Chain A
Amino acid sequence: MSDSYLLDDREAKARFEAPPASDVAVISLLRSLPPLTMPADLVAALEGRLPAHTALIEVPPAEVVDISTRRRPRWTAPLAVAASVALLLTLGAVVFRSTDATIVNANGPILASGTEYTAANLATAVPELLNAAGLSATNTVSEARIAPADPATIAATFAASPDSLGACIDAITDAPTAQLVTVDMATFRGIQVGVITTRVSGARGLTVSVVPTDCGANNASILDQIVIADL
Protein backbone atom coordinates (compact mmCIF):
# COMPACT_ATOMS: atom_id res chain seq x y z
CA MET A 1 0.00 0.00 0.00
CA SER A 2 2.83 2.34 0.73
CA ASP A 3 3.93 2.35 -2.91
CA SER A 4 1.33 5.03 -3.67
CA TYR A 5 3.38 7.43 -1.64
CA LEU A 6 6.26 6.84 -3.98
CA LEU A 7 4.32 8.17 -6.94
CA ASP A 8 5.28 11.73 -7.65
CA ASP A 9 2.79 13.94 -9.45
CA ARG A 10 4.18 13.20 -12.88
CA GLU A 11 4.14 9.47 -12.31
CA ALA A 12 0.66 9.59 -10.84
CA LYS A 13 -0.70 11.55 -13.80
CA ALA A 14 1.03 9.23 -16.25
CA ARG A 15 -0.44 6.26 -14.41
CA PHE A 16 -3.88 7.80 -14.77
CA GLU A 17 -3.44 8.17 -18.52
CA ALA A 18 -2.17 4.61 -18.94
CA PRO A 19 -3.42 2.61 -15.96
CA PRO A 20 -1.75 -0.73 -15.33
CA ALA A 21 -3.80 -3.91 -15.11
CA SER A 22 -4.09 -3.63 -11.34
CA ASP A 23 -5.68 -0.18 -11.63
CA VAL A 24 -7.95 -1.34 -14.42
CA ALA A 25 -9.16 -4.14 -12.16
CA VAL A 26 -9.84 -1.65 -9.38
CA ILE A 27 -11.76 0.61 -11.74
CA SER A 28 -13.81 -2.39 -12.82
CA LEU A 29 -14.62 -3.20 -9.21
CA LEU A 30 -15.59 0.39 -8.47
CA ARG A 31 -17.85 0.57 -11.48
CA SER A 32 -19.61 -2.58 -10.34
CA LEU A 33 -20.89 -0.84 -7.24
CA PRO A 34 -24.68 -0.58 -7.28
CA PRO A 35 -26.31 2.86 -7.35
CA LEU A 36 -27.35 4.19 -3.99
CA THR A 37 -30.66 5.68 -2.97
CA MET A 38 -30.88 8.40 -0.38
CA PRO A 39 -32.53 6.97 2.74
CA ALA A 40 -36.18 7.86 3.08
CA ASP A 41 -35.69 9.34 6.53
CA LEU A 42 -32.99 11.66 5.24
CA VAL A 43 -35.18 12.66 2.29
CA ALA A 44 -38.01 13.45 4.67
CA ALA A 45 -35.70 15.38 6.98
CA LEU A 46 -34.39 17.52 4.15
CA GLU A 47 -37.78 18.09 2.61
CA GLY A 48 -38.89 19.30 6.01
CA ARG A 49 -35.87 21.46 6.68
CA LEU A 50 -35.35 23.21 3.36
CA PRO A 51 -38.56 25.30 3.29
CA ALA A 52 -37.74 26.57 6.76
CA HIS A 53 -34.75 28.28 5.21
CA THR A 54 -36.76 30.18 2.66
CA ALA A 55 -36.64 33.34 4.71
CA LEU A 56 -32.93 32.88 5.17
CA ILE A 57 -31.92 32.74 1.52
CA GLU A 58 -28.73 34.68 1.46
CA VAL A 59 -27.87 37.28 -1.11
CA PRO A 60 -24.49 38.81 -1.82
CA PRO A 61 -23.62 41.30 0.93
CA ALA A 62 -24.70 44.86 0.52
CA GLU A 63 -21.86 47.27 0.03
CA VAL A 64 -23.01 50.04 2.31
CA VAL A 65 -26.38 49.35 3.84
CA ASP A 66 -26.30 48.20 7.42
CA ILE A 67 -28.55 45.18 7.68
CA SER A 68 -29.76 46.36 11.06
CA THR A 69 -31.41 49.31 9.41
CA ARG A 70 -33.62 46.89 7.52
CA ARG A 71 -35.51 46.13 10.70
CA ARG A 72 -38.54 48.35 10.94
CA PRO A 73 -40.99 48.76 13.77
CA ARG A 74 -44.41 47.52 12.82
CA TRP A 75 -45.97 50.90 13.43
CA THR A 76 -44.02 52.43 10.56
CA ALA A 77 -45.57 50.15 7.95
CA PRO A 78 -48.63 52.31 7.25
CA LEU A 79 -46.38 55.32 6.82
CA ALA A 80 -44.29 53.46 4.30
CA VAL A 81 -47.31 52.35 2.37
CA ALA A 82 -48.64 55.87 2.34
CA ALA A 83 -45.33 57.21 1.13
CA SER A 84 -45.14 54.65 -1.61
CA VAL A 85 -48.65 55.22 -2.79
CA ALA A 86 -48.23 58.96 -2.75
CA LEU A 87 -45.11 58.65 -4.79
CA LEU A 88 -46.71 56.30 -7.22
CA LEU A 89 -49.62 58.61 -7.72
CA THR A 90 -47.11 61.20 -8.74
CA LEU A 91 -44.64 59.20 -10.74
CA GLY A 92 -46.48 56.11 -11.72
CA ALA A 93 -49.40 57.80 -13.32
CA VAL A 94 -47.71 58.44 -16.61
CA VAL A 95 -46.54 54.90 -16.94
CA PHE A 96 -49.69 53.14 -15.94
CA ARG A 97 -52.04 55.38 -17.81
CA SER A 98 -49.98 55.34 -20.94
CA THR A 99 -50.49 52.45 -23.25
CA ASP A 100 -48.36 53.92 -25.99
CA ALA A 101 -44.79 53.00 -25.26
CA THR A 102 -43.65 54.85 -28.34
CA ILE A 103 -44.29 58.21 -26.74
CA VAL A 104 -40.74 59.00 -25.80
CA ASN A 105 -41.48 61.81 -23.42
CA ALA A 106 -43.97 59.76 -21.50
CA ASN A 107 -41.33 57.89 -19.60
CA GLY A 108 -42.04 57.45 -15.95
CA PRO A 109 -39.91 55.76 -13.36
CA ILE A 110 -40.25 52.29 -14.83
CA LEU A 111 -37.66 51.64 -17.49
CA ALA A 112 -36.47 48.65 -19.44
CA SER A 113 -32.89 49.46 -20.29
CA GLY A 114 -31.89 45.92 -21.15
CA THR A 115 -28.82 46.32 -18.98
CA GLU A 116 -27.17 43.10 -17.87
CA TYR A 117 -26.36 44.01 -14.31
CA THR A 118 -23.83 42.21 -12.17
CA ALA A 119 -22.62 42.83 -8.64
CA ALA A 120 -19.52 44.37 -10.19
CA ASN A 121 -21.19 46.84 -12.53
CA LEU A 122 -24.19 47.82 -10.43
CA ALA A 123 -22.49 50.85 -8.89
CA THR A 124 -21.60 52.30 -12.27
CA ALA A 125 -24.46 51.08 -14.43
CA VAL A 126 -27.24 52.54 -12.32
CA PRO A 127 -25.88 56.13 -12.30
CA GLU A 128 -25.37 55.82 -16.04
CA LEU A 129 -28.96 54.70 -16.37
CA LEU A 130 -30.24 57.58 -14.27
CA ASN A 131 -28.24 60.06 -16.27
CA ALA A 132 -29.31 58.53 -19.55
CA ALA A 133 -32.91 58.58 -18.40
CA GLY A 134 -32.59 62.28 -17.75
CA LEU A 135 -33.75 61.95 -14.18
CA SER A 136 -33.00 64.90 -11.99
CA ALA A 137 -32.68 65.23 -8.25
CA THR A 138 -36.33 66.19 -8.09
CA ASN A 139 -37.41 63.06 -9.91
CA THR A 140 -38.61 65.02 -12.87
CA VAL A 141 -37.79 63.95 -16.34
CA SER A 142 -35.81 66.48 -18.32
CA GLU A 143 -35.48 64.64 -21.56
CA ALA A 144 -36.12 61.02 -22.16
CA ARG A 145 -33.35 59.07 -23.71
CA ILE A 146 -34.52 55.67 -22.54
CA ALA A 147 -37.93 54.42 -23.47
CA PRO A 148 -40.24 53.38 -20.67
CA ALA A 149 -40.97 49.75 -20.12
CA ASP A 150 -43.65 48.39 -22.36
CA PRO A 151 -46.66 47.64 -20.14
CA ALA A 152 -46.93 44.23 -21.75
CA THR A 153 -43.43 43.29 -20.64
CA ILE A 154 -44.09 44.14 -17.03
CA ALA A 155 -47.58 42.70 -16.85
CA ALA A 156 -46.47 39.65 -14.86
CA THR A 157 -44.08 41.48 -12.57
CA PHE A 158 -44.25 43.53 -9.40
CA ALA A 159 -44.19 46.62 -11.61
CA ALA A 160 -47.48 45.75 -13.26
CA SER A 161 -49.52 48.14 -11.16
CA PRO A 162 -49.03 50.90 -8.61
CA ASP A 163 -50.36 48.59 -5.93
CA SER A 164 -47.96 45.77 -6.68
CA LEU A 165 -45.04 48.15 -7.06
CA GLY A 166 -45.96 49.78 -3.79
CA ALA A 167 -46.13 46.38 -2.10
CA CYS A 168 -42.66 45.58 -3.35
CA ILE A 169 -41.17 48.86 -2.22
CA ASP A 170 -42.82 48.49 1.12
CA ALA A 171 -41.47 44.97 1.45
CA ILE A 172 -37.87 45.87 0.72
CA THR A 173 -37.62 49.39 2.10
CA ASP A 174 -37.37 49.96 5.80
CA ALA A 175 -37.47 53.72 5.71
CA PRO A 176 -41.01 55.09 5.81
CA THR A 177 -39.94 58.17 3.88
CA ALA A 178 -38.39 56.25 1.01
CA GLN A 179 -39.09 57.76 -2.36
CA LEU A 180 -38.95 55.90 -5.59
CA VAL A 181 -36.45 57.29 -8.09
CA THR A 182 -36.71 54.67 -10.78
CA VAL A 183 -37.26 51.02 -11.55
CA ASP A 184 -35.31 49.31 -14.31
CA MET A 185 -36.62 45.97 -15.49
CA ALA A 186 -33.44 44.22 -16.53
CA THR A 187 -31.32 41.16 -15.79
CA PHE A 188 -28.94 40.45 -12.95
CA ARG A 189 -26.54 37.57 -13.48
CA GLY A 190 -28.83 36.44 -16.23
CA ILE A 191 -31.97 36.46 -14.11
CA GLN A 192 -34.93 38.73 -14.85
CA VAL A 193 -35.08 41.32 -12.08
CA GLY A 194 -36.17 44.78 -11.16
CA VAL A 195 -33.49 47.26 -10.14
CA ILE A 196 -35.18 49.70 -7.80
CA THR A 197 -33.54 52.96 -6.87
CA THR A 198 -34.92 54.82 -3.87
CA ARG A 199 -34.02 57.91 -1.95
CA VAL A 200 -34.57 58.37 1.74
CA SER A 201 -35.01 61.89 2.95
CA GLY A 202 -32.05 62.97 4.98
CA ALA A 203 -29.99 59.96 4.02
CA ARG A 204 -26.84 60.10 2.01
CA GLY A 205 -27.00 58.57 -1.42
CA LEU A 206 -29.53 56.52 -3.28
CA THR A 207 -30.27 52.93 -2.41
CA VAL A 208 -30.24 50.53 -5.32
CA SER A 209 -31.97 47.21 -4.68
CA VAL A 210 -32.05 44.29 -7.07
CA VAL A 211 -35.22 42.29 -6.56
CA PRO A 212 -36.93 39.33 -8.20
CA THR A 213 -39.78 40.05 -10.56
CA ASP A 214 -42.29 38.67 -8.06
CA CYS A 215 -41.12 41.06 -5.35
CA GLY A 216 -43.88 41.90 -2.94
CA ALA A 217 -45.34 41.10 0.43
CA ASN A 218 -44.66 37.42 -0.13
CA ASN A 219 -41.16 37.84 -1.45
CA ALA A 220 -38.98 40.49 0.10
CA SER A 221 -35.78 38.96 -1.24
CA ILE A 222 -33.07 41.39 -2.24
CA LEU A 223 -30.55 39.86 -4.60
CA ASP A 224 -28.10 42.71 -4.22
CA GLN A 225 -28.16 46.16 -2.68
CA ILE A 226 -25.78 49.10 -2.81
CA VAL A 227 -25.80 52.79 -2.05
CA ILE A 228 -24.69 55.21 -4.75
CA ALA A 229 -24.15 58.95 -4.82
CA ASP A 230 -27.30 61.01 -5.13
CA LEU A 231 -28.14 62.68 -8.38
Chain B
Amino acid sequence: MEGDAKNLPLTDLDDRALMTLHVQGNSEAFGELFRRHRDRLWSVALRTLGDPEEAADAVQDGLISAYRNAASYRGDAAVTTWLHRIVVNACLDRVRRRTSRPTVALPDDDLAPEASRLTHTRDAMDERETALEINKALAALPPDQAAAVVLIDVEGWSVEEAALILDCPPGTVKSRCSRGRVKLAATLGHLRNPDSDGGVRPLPDSQVSTADSLVKGVGTR
Protein backbone atom coordinates (compact mmCIF):
# COMPACT_ATOMS: atom_id res chain seq x y z
CA MET B 1 0.00 0.00 0.00
CA GLU B 2 2.66 2.40 1.05
CA GLY B 3 4.56 2.50 -2.20
CA ASP B 4 1.39 2.95 -4.18
CA ALA B 5 0.03 5.53 -1.78
CA LYS B 6 3.05 7.73 -2.17
CA ASN B 7 2.53 7.82 -5.91
CA LEU B 8 -1.15 8.71 -5.85
CA PRO B 9 -2.69 12.14 -5.39
CA LEU B 10 -3.77 12.55 -1.78
CA THR B 11 -7.33 13.10 -2.93
CA ASP B 12 -7.36 9.55 -4.30
CA LEU B 13 -6.36 7.96 -1.01
CA ASP B 14 -8.69 6.71 1.67
CA ASP B 15 -8.56 8.09 5.18
CA ARG B 16 -6.47 5.26 6.58
CA ALA B 17 -3.83 5.68 3.90
CA LEU B 18 -3.71 9.40 4.65
CA MET B 19 -3.23 8.69 8.35
CA THR B 20 -0.40 6.33 7.53
CA LEU B 21 1.29 8.91 5.36
CA HIS B 22 0.85 11.54 8.04
CA VAL B 23 2.46 9.34 10.67
CA GLN B 24 5.26 8.64 8.24
CA GLY B 25 5.91 12.34 7.95
CA ASN B 26 3.96 13.39 4.87
CA SER B 27 3.28 17.06 5.50
CA GLU B 28 0.17 17.25 3.34
CA ALA B 29 -1.74 14.12 4.33
CA PHE B 30 -3.41 15.50 7.43
CA GLY B 31 -4.46 18.59 5.51
CA GLU B 32 -6.44 16.39 3.16
CA LEU B 33 -8.10 14.67 6.13
CA PHE B 34 -8.88 18.09 7.55
CA ARG B 35 -10.49 19.19 4.28
CA ARG B 36 -12.62 16.07 4.16
CA HIS B 37 -13.97 16.17 7.69
CA ARG B 38 -13.77 19.75 8.90
CA ASP B 39 -17.38 20.72 8.19
CA ARG B 40 -18.90 17.76 10.01
CA LEU B 41 -16.53 18.24 12.92
CA TRP B 42 -17.47 21.89 13.05
CA SER B 43 -21.15 21.05 12.92
CA VAL B 44 -20.92 18.65 15.84
CA ALA B 45 -18.83 21.06 17.90
CA LEU B 46 -21.00 24.10 17.26
CA ARG B 47 -24.27 22.32 17.82
CA THR B 48 -23.03 20.58 20.95
CA LEU B 49 -21.60 23.73 22.50
CA GLY B 50 -23.92 26.34 20.98
CA ASP B 51 -21.21 28.97 21.09
CA PRO B 52 -19.11 29.67 17.97
CA GLU B 53 -16.13 30.86 20.00
CA GLU B 54 -16.11 27.82 22.23
CA ALA B 55 -16.73 25.51 19.30
CA ALA B 56 -13.84 27.02 17.37
CA ASP B 57 -11.52 26.58 20.33
CA ALA B 58 -12.69 23.01 20.86
CA VAL B 59 -12.21 22.12 17.19
CA GLN B 60 -8.73 23.60 17.24
CA ASP B 61 -7.82 21.78 20.43
CA GLY B 62 -9.19 18.53 19.04
CA LEU B 63 -7.60 18.71 15.62
CA ILE B 64 -4.21 19.72 16.94
CA SER B 65 -4.40 16.84 19.39
CA ALA B 66 -5.34 14.48 16.56
CA TYR B 67 -2.50 15.84 14.43
CA ARG B 68 0.05 15.30 17.15
CA ASN B 69 -1.25 11.96 18.37
CA ALA B 70 -1.92 10.35 15.02
CA ALA B 71 0.49 7.56 15.90
CA SER B 72 -1.95 6.45 18.58
CA TYR B 73 -4.62 5.77 15.96
CA ARG B 74 -4.89 1.99 15.95
CA GLY B 75 -7.19 1.53 13.02
CA ASP B 76 -9.91 -0.18 15.03
CA ALA B 77 -12.41 2.51 14.03
CA ALA B 78 -12.84 4.66 10.98
CA VAL B 79 -10.60 7.70 10.88
CA THR B 80 -13.62 10.00 10.86
CA THR B 81 -14.95 8.27 13.97
CA TRP B 82 -11.58 8.75 15.65
CA LEU B 83 -11.49 12.42 14.69
CA HIS B 84 -15.04 12.97 15.91
CA ARG B 85 -14.20 11.27 19.18
CA ILE B 86 -11.28 13.61 19.79
CA VAL B 87 -13.23 16.74 18.87
CA VAL B 88 -16.30 15.73 20.89
CA ASN B 89 -14.05 15.03 23.86
CA ALA B 90 -12.52 18.47 23.44
CA CYS B 91 -16.03 19.94 23.45
CA LEU B 92 -17.10 18.07 26.56
CA ASP B 93 -13.84 18.96 28.31
CA ARG B 94 -14.58 22.61 27.69
CA VAL B 95 -18.05 22.23 29.10
CA ARG B 96 -16.72 20.52 32.20
CA ARG B 97 -14.25 23.31 32.75
CA ARG B 98 -16.75 26.12 32.74
CA THR B 99 -18.63 26.76 35.93
CA SER B 100 -21.97 27.51 34.38
CA ARG B 101 -23.36 26.65 31.02
CA PRO B 102 -24.58 29.66 29.06
CA THR B 103 -26.95 29.18 26.21
CA VAL B 104 -25.99 30.97 23.03
CA ALA B 105 -23.27 33.57 23.11
CA LEU B 106 -24.30 36.83 21.55
CA PRO B 107 -21.54 38.57 19.62
CA ASP B 108 -21.29 42.28 20.15
CA ASP B 109 -20.39 43.78 16.84
CA ASP B 110 -20.50 41.21 14.10
CA LEU B 111 -23.97 41.96 12.83
CA ALA B 112 -24.93 40.72 9.43
CA PRO B 113 -25.07 43.43 6.79
CA GLU B 114 -28.46 45.09 6.74
CA ALA B 115 -28.75 44.77 2.97
CA SER B 116 -28.13 41.09 3.17
CA ARG B 117 -30.84 40.64 5.71
CA LEU B 118 -33.33 42.55 3.63
CA THR B 119 -32.83 40.22 0.70
CA HIS B 120 -33.96 37.21 2.67
CA THR B 121 -37.31 35.88 1.68
CA ARG B 122 -39.86 35.25 4.36
CA ASP B 123 -39.39 31.49 4.00
CA ALA B 124 -35.66 31.80 4.29
CA MET B 125 -36.06 33.93 7.39
CA ASP B 126 -38.42 31.40 8.86
CA GLU B 127 -36.00 28.58 8.18
CA ARG B 128 -33.19 30.56 9.70
CA GLU B 129 -35.19 31.40 12.77
CA THR B 130 -36.32 27.83 13.14
CA ALA B 131 -32.74 26.63 12.91
CA LEU B 132 -31.71 29.20 15.49
CA GLU B 133 -34.38 28.04 17.90
CA ILE B 134 -33.39 24.42 17.43
CA ASN B 135 -29.74 25.21 17.99
CA LYS B 136 -30.56 27.23 21.09
CA ALA B 137 -32.56 24.33 22.44
CA LEU B 138 -29.71 21.93 21.70
CA ALA B 139 -27.27 24.21 23.46
CA ALA B 140 -29.49 24.25 26.53
CA LEU B 141 -29.34 20.47 26.89
CA PRO B 142 -26.85 18.83 29.23
CA PRO B 143 -23.75 18.41 27.06
CA ASP B 144 -23.74 14.63 27.06
CA GLN B 145 -27.34 14.62 25.85
CA ALA B 146 -26.64 17.36 23.31
CA ALA B 147 -23.70 15.43 21.90
CA ALA B 148 -25.75 12.25 21.59
CA VAL B 149 -28.69 14.00 19.94
CA VAL B 150 -26.43 15.91 17.55
CA LEU B 151 -24.56 12.79 16.51
CA ILE B 152 -27.64 10.59 16.09
CA ASP B 153 -30.43 12.91 15.02
CA VAL B 154 -28.60 15.74 13.29
CA GLU B 155 -25.52 14.10 11.82
CA GLY B 156 -27.02 10.66 11.26
CA TRP B 157 -24.42 8.49 12.98
CA SER B 158 -25.51 5.02 14.01
CA VAL B 159 -25.88 4.23 17.68
CA GLU B 160 -22.81 2.00 17.52
CA GLU B 161 -20.70 4.71 15.89
CA ALA B 162 -21.93 7.33 18.36
CA ALA B 163 -21.04 4.98 21.20
CA LEU B 164 -17.49 4.79 19.87
CA ILE B 165 -17.30 8.56 19.57
CA LEU B 166 -18.74 9.18 23.02
CA ASP B 167 -16.85 6.27 24.57
CA CYS B 168 -19.91 4.84 26.23
CA PRO B 169 -22.16 1.81 25.74
CA PRO B 170 -24.79 1.96 22.98
CA GLY B 171 -27.51 1.77 25.61
CA THR B 172 -26.21 4.95 27.17
CA VAL B 173 -26.32 6.68 23.81
CA LYS B 174 -29.95 5.65 23.44
CA SER B 175 -30.97 6.85 26.88
CA ARG B 176 -29.14 10.17 26.45
CA CYS B 177 -30.85 10.64 23.12
CA SER B 178 -34.28 9.90 24.53
CA ARG B 179 -33.84 12.25 27.45
CA GLY B 180 -32.60 14.96 25.15
CA ARG B 181 -35.49 14.49 22.76
CA VAL B 182 -38.00 14.79 25.59
CA LYS B 183 -36.54 18.13 26.57
CA LEU B 184 -36.39 19.30 22.98
CA ALA B 185 -39.99 18.29 22.44
CA ALA B 186 -41.01 20.51 25.32
CA THR B 187 -38.83 23.41 24.19
CA LEU B 188 -39.64 23.20 20.50
CA GLY B 189 -43.28 22.25 20.75
CA HIS B 190 -44.40 25.45 19.10
CA LEU B 191 -42.24 24.69 16.06
CA ARG B 192 -43.65 21.28 15.39
CA ASN B 193 -47.18 22.57 16.07
CA PRO B 194 -47.20 26.17 14.87
CA ASP B 195 -50.84 26.75 15.79
CA SER B 196 -50.25 26.06 19.45
CA ASP B 197 -48.67 29.41 20.19
CA GLY B 198 -48.92 31.38 17.01
CA GLY B 199 -46.07 29.78 15.08
CA VAL B 200 -42.45 30.76 14.90
CA ARG B 201 -41.73 34.03 16.58
CA PRO B 202 -39.77 36.72 14.76
CA LEU B 203 -36.13 36.86 15.69
CA PRO B 204 -34.95 39.95 17.55
CA ASP B 205 -32.47 41.95 15.50
CA SER B 206 -29.89 41.60 18.23
CA GLN B 207 -29.70 37.89 17.56
CA VAL B 208 -29.49 37.95 13.79
CA SER B 209 -25.74 37.57 13.62
CA THR B 210 -25.87 34.66 16.02
CA ALA B 211 -28.46 33.12 13.80
CA ASP B 212 -26.09 33.50 10.91
CA SER B 213 -23.36 31.82 12.88
CA LEU B 214 -25.44 28.88 13.85
CA VAL B 215 -27.33 28.45 10.64
CA LYS B 216 -24.54 29.12 8.19
CA GLY B 217 -21.71 28.04 10.41
CA VAL B 218 -20.05 31.44 10.14
CA GLY B 219 -18.06 32.06 13.26
CA THR B 220 -17.48 35.33 14.96
CA ARG B 221 -13.81 34.98 15.58
Contacts and interface: CB of A to CB of B under 8 A. Distances in A.
Interface of A: 1, 3-5, 7, 9, 11-13, 15-17, 19, 22-23, 25-39, 41-43, 45-47, 49-51, 53-54, 56-60, 156, 189-192, 212-214, 218-219, 221, 223
Nearest to B193: A25
Contacts of B186: 1, 3
B68 interface: yes
A27 B63 contact: no
A13 B178 contact: yes
15 contacts: A3-B186, A4-B183, A13-B178, A16-B174, A22-B189, A23-B185, A25-B193, A37-B39, A58-B71, A189-B74, A192-B20, A214-B24, A219-B24, A221-B25, A223-B71
Interface stretch (B26-34, B89-97, B115-123): B26-34
Contact of B182 (A23, A41, A218): A23
B131 A31 contact: no
Interface residues of B, number: 67
Given A23-B185, A59-B71, A212-B23, A7 B175 contact: yes
Contacts, number: 183
A223 B183 contact: no
For the complex of A and B, 9 pairs with smallest distance between CB atoms: A36-B217, A12-B175, A39-B219, A16-B174, A4-B182, A219-B25, A38-B42, A25-B192, A212-B24
- State the main secondary structure of chain B at its contact with A: helix
Contact of A41 (B30, B75, B183, B219): B219
Nearest to A11: B178
B171 A9 contact: yes
Interface string B3-36: 1001000000000000010011101001100100
Interface string B147-180: 0010001101000000000000001001111111
B24 A213 contact: yes
Contact of B25 (A30, A60, A212): A212
B77 interface: no
